[in-house]
Each structure stands twice: as C-alpha cells, then as structure tokens.
A and B are shown apart, each in its own frame.
Chain A
Amino acid sequence: MSVLQIIFLVTGFVTLLAGVMVVASPKLVHAALWLIVSLAGVAVLFVLLNANFLAVVQVVVYIGAIAILIIFTVMLTRRVMADSGPTHNRTWWVALLSAVVLLGGLLALIWQHPAFQAVPAELAAADTSLTVLGTSLVDVNRYLVPFEVASVLLLAALIGAIAVARPVAKGEEADE
C-alpha cells in the first residue's frame, strides 16, 4: 500500500465516523461540529483526487459558510443544550440490522460493476484545468447558460431567504 492509499483509507474512515457521530451525538451543536469534521474529510479526499479547487471550495463554502449557517440555525432553536434526550429507542438494533443488510446487498451489487477493475486514469495537471474551467464557464458552446442560470438561482435563493426569514424577525422580539 502506498502512502496515498493509507491517507485515503484513514480519511475515509474519519469521514464516515464523523458522519455517524452527526446522527449519534445528543447535543445539536456537537452534531453540527461533527458534520464539519465530515466535510473536512471530503475536502481531503478532493485533495487526494488532485482537485485542488474543489477542495478549497469545499472548505470555503461548506465549512466557512454552510456549516456556520447550520450552527446559526441550531442557535435559533430554543434550549439546545438542554435537549440531550436519548438519540435512539429500543428498536435501534432492527434499524442497524436492516441498514447492514441493505449495505451488504448494495456492496455485492456494486462490486460487480466494471469500474472497480478499471485502471485509474492519469489525472490532468491541476494548473491548466482551472483555466479550462474558467473559460468553459463563459463559453457560449459550453456552460454559459448554466453559469448565468446559477446566478439567477442564487438571486432566487436570496429573495426567498428574505421573504421567508423577514416576517419572523419582525413578529417575534427575540431576547438577546
């Protein structure tokens, strides 16, 4: 096993473990922070795939922005720290069993996919790929329309966010 493979396996394990902890931790804020660990693990996986841009975008957008938004959402709920009831009930083993069976079935199916026998393709040099991405975003024959539609989508999200969140702020005088 090469060093890269070891790093990949460790990162994958940590990412999955953090993912489990998101649903298993009783405190909401801890769950949010475990989610951040999981997202950081994905960023490391992007680095291993030589996708530098995606890796930093993963950190900037998911950890720097969306995770903070999630923490904000958690803080918007009342009595978050008191909310430490049990995270599972008596039938947890049934859920675990069915999940394991399902996972096993899926793995058995996926394992037969030819992609697992394929030799990994040589990755393109990262320096040029970024320029190619930039030009194809504004190329009329490539992704110009999705690019501009993304802007409109973000605009719609902004308007929607204001429309949804604004009346709440006026009606409810939250204590600080």
Chain B
Amino acid sequence: MGDPFGLIGRWFMDLLTGWGMESSAALTLLRFLGAGVMAIVLLFACFFLIVAERKMLGRFQDRYGPNRIGPFGIFQTIADFVKLIGKEIVVPAGIDKPLYWLAPLLVVMSIIGMWAVVPLAPGFRGTDLNVGVLYLVSVGAIGTLGIIMAGWSSNNKFAMLGAFRAVAQLVSYEIPMVLMLLVPTMLSGTMGVVGIVEAQSEMWFIVAAPLAALVYLISSIAENGRAPFDLTEGESEIVAGFNVEYGGLAFGMFYVGDFLHAFTVGALFSTLFLGGWRGPGAEQYPLLGLFYFFLKTIAVWFVTVWIRGSFPRVRIDQLLALNWKFLTPLALLIVAVTAVVNKLAVEQGWSRILALLAANVVMAAGVWGALALHGRTVRRREEELRAGAAVSASAAR
C-alpha cells in the first residue's frame, strides 16, 4: 500500500518495455493513456456532479431535488443524457457554422485542461509545469473565447447580450484572480502547482493569507459564471444568454462545462490555499492523500453551491463596481502588504505565519471600516433624496 500510483506506473512501464517498446515511447504512450483516462473520468464524473449539485440546491431551496430515477435519484443525469442524445439539435438559420459547433467544445476543453497541473496525490498528477499557475489562467482564457464564439455565432440578440456580458464579467474578474495567484506564488517561491502544495507542509496558505483566499474564491465563482454572478445566462432577462440557440448535446456540453467548472474551482482552491492532498499520513500513504484532496475539494465545492443557492443575482453595474472598486484595489493591497510583511518577518515558522495573519486581520478591519463608512454615506444620501422627494410630492399636492 506504500505507493500504489508509482507501482501501477512502473508495472505498466515494465509491461510495455517487456513487449519490446523503447522506454521513451512507452512513457509517451503512458502519458497518452493517462490523459485519456483523466478526460474520460472527468466527463463521466459529471453524471455524479450534476445530480449531487441539483440535490444540494434542492435542499437549500427547501425541496427534494431529483428523486425519481434510481435510489435518491442518482441516475437522473443518465436519464437526462439519454434524453439529450435523442433530441434534435435545432440549428437556427443564419448562424456562423464553424464557430457555432466549435464553441461548446472549447468550453469543455478549457476546463478539462485545467486538471493537467492539479496534483491529486503525492506522485500522482498529470504533469508538473514550472509555470502551472499561469497555465491555469491561460487555459481559462480559452473558455472565455468559447463563450464569445457561442454568443457571436448564434445569430440571436439574447445570445449576443449574454456574450457581451460574459466578456465584461469574465475578463474583469480575471484581474483579482491573477493578482491573488501571486500570493501563493510568493509564499512558495514557485509557479508550479506541485511546488505550491509542497510549500504548504508547514501550514496551509489560507491561514497565512485568508483575505487572498476569499478574494480568489469570489473571483473564481465569478469566472465560473455562477450565481450570484450568473449574468452570462440570466434566464429571466436574456432567456439563457450565450447558449440560447443550442439544443441537445451541444447545449449539454455547456451544461457539463458549467458543472465541471464548479468542481474544478473547488479543486484549484483546495490545491492553492488548503494544501491540496496534504493531511496526516498522506506522505506515507498516497491513497490517503487522494482522499484528503477530494474531501477538501468537495467541501469547497459545497460552499460554492451553497453560495449559489443563497444569493440573489447582482446587476451588471454592481458586478463591475464590485470588481473594479472593491476586489481589484483590495487585491493590489493584499499583494503589497503580504510582500512587505513576509519580508520583514525575518524568522521562519510560526512567527512569520502569525505576522501574516495579523496583517490580514488589520487589512480586514480596515476594509470593514471603510465599507461601513461608505454604506453610511450612501444611506444618508438616499434618505436625503427620499426626504426631498417627499417634500416635493407634498408641495405638488
């Protein structure tokens, strides 16, 4: 039970080289198979993810959620999938054909691609890029592109509006997200995701940088286009947004991409801030590491679904104001303060972590105070307006 992943890999290599294959070719083949298995597992995981999320949302909204097909309704997604296969994909007239068909594929590809650098357990990962953190951002950009292409090619005004909003939103929230990725990079001294997990042996980064983790979580929910930031597909205002003209499995791919992205947000957050596979005994038993990783991922995923089930949708001006007037300045502040405090705290170990934590608490208090002050000003102005309106109304009467 020491190292099952290494064992399987070595067994496979021995098998292939035993068949007379060169070791480099065997390694490439092994990587190919690994990539294939990863993509297939991720896509099939959606059967579980979608039904689990709908179940959770149902409970949050005081209803049962899917409960007809199979025990506790767990086969609901499979039934949906069969239904979607059998549906006609209605292709509207006047679309931009190549872009129309390419768009859902790009969205799914960008999310599967993110998993390439996520370490699932010690020694068990897709790959270890030394620029892993920026790779995540760059693959995410492809998904944005897919959404623009979908909205553009559909020949539908609602789809276009959804795509416009999507671009404004996804692009804006990328800034605080990228800035917050600087914090784990700084604390660990590497952009490689594996290195970032290694660096959290002492303590998880969420303890040293809780505000950074919070800003990262908010901006990645926005990147996902989830409630409360689901302006890209506001059902009540723009029908369904960028994917309105898609049907059957072509729509299903956007659906899969959305739900898989939510889970991926959990995985990335737990890797960057919650120590990934780290936990008691994980280094001796990699399987335990895998368990910890998925435990953390599911916990964060649960929180994002909880947020989705609890918050109302924001307006686009509020969305952009939240990003540019709150999250981005806060992110700049966090990067600057973390950099300086971490350098000033000469000693390694707990004192450094406590210094960072204290800096975060001070920042949070400052932000809280500023927000309270701002809220009071806004409320006073509104009251004045209301009083003025009342006066003018009585004068008119």
Contacts and interface: CB of A to CB of B under 8 A. Distances in A.
Direct contact between A and B judged by beta carbons closer than 8 A: yes
A127 B145 contact: no
Given A65-B171, A71-B167, A176-B164, 15 more contacts: A33-B149, A56-B134, A59-B138, A60-B137, A60-B138, A60-B178, A63-B138, A63-B141, A67-B145, A81-B96, A126-B130, A127-B130, A130-B130, A130-B191, A176-B161
B215 to A, nearest CB: 19
A142 to B, nearest CB: 20
Interface in B102-143: 129-131, 134-135, 137-142
A60 B152 contact: no
Nearest to B148: A71
B174 interface: yes
Contact of A64 (B96, B144, B152, B191): B144
The secondary structure that dominates the B interface is helix
Contacts of A56: 131, 134-135, 137-138
Interface string B358-383: 00000000000000000000000000
A57 interface: yes
Contact of A72 (B141, B167, B174): B167
B99 interface: yes
Interface string A33-54: 1001000000000000000110
A68 interface: yes
Interface of A: 27, 29-30, 33, 36, 52-53, 55-57, 59-60, 63-65, 67-68, 71-72, 75, 81, 126-127, 130, 176
Nearest to A53: B131
B203 to A, nearest CB: 24
Given A60-B138, A63-B142, A176-B161, A68 B130 contact: no
Interface residues on B, range: 20 to 34
Interface in B181-218: 191
Given A29-B152, A68-B148, A68-B167, A52 B131 contact: yes
CB-based closest 6 A-B pairs: A64-B141, A59-B138, A56-B134, A60-B138, A52-B131, A56-B131
B340 to A, nearest CB: 14
6 contacts: A33-B99, A55-B131, A56-B138, A60-B134, A63-B145, A130-B131
Nearest to B167: A68
A169 B156 CA distance: 25
A68 B174 CA distance: 13
Given A52-B130, A63-B142, A68 B135 contact: no
Interface in B251-304: none
Interface string B143-155: 0110011001000
Nearest to A27: B96
Contacts of B138: 56, 59-60, 63-64
A56 B134 CA distance: 6
A64 B174 contact: yes
Given A33-B99, A56-B131, A130-B191, A68 B137 contact: no
Contact of A52 (B129, B141, B164): B129
Contacts of B96: 27, 29-30, 81
Contact of A60 (B129, B141, B148): B141
Contacts of B174: 64
